Amino acid sequence: PSPRSSQPNGSSEEALQCEIKELKQKDLTLDQEIAQLLSEGYSLEELEKHISLLHEYNEIKDAGQMLLGKLAVIRGVTTKQLYPEYDLELSD
């Protein structure tokens, strides 16, 4: 159960209202960023393609991180110790 589920109803409702407000603000911010990109000459199709490619990149990166983690366990080292062996930067 989440920490919110153990709170009294009034407090939980306040937390939900706060979360809704934050999500609406995030939605507004994202809409503004999209409008800015469109005004810079990007098309919706181009933005959607870029987002799709970012999702694909993140999925591949996650798989790589998972494999590095399993290899680190097998070798009894940290994943950080494997980075130089595979010419990876810590920011990768």
Which tokens sit at 21?
């407000």
What's this model's pTM, rounded to 2 decimal places? 0.53
For residue 23, what pLDDT band results from cuts at 50, 70 and 90? very high
pLDDT tens digit string along 48-87? 899 999 999 999 999 999 999 999 999 999 999 999 998 9
Give me the pLDDT at residue 39, please.
92
| Share above pLDDT 70 across residues of the chain, in percent, rounded to a whole number | 88
CA angle 55, 59, 65 (to 5 degrees): 140
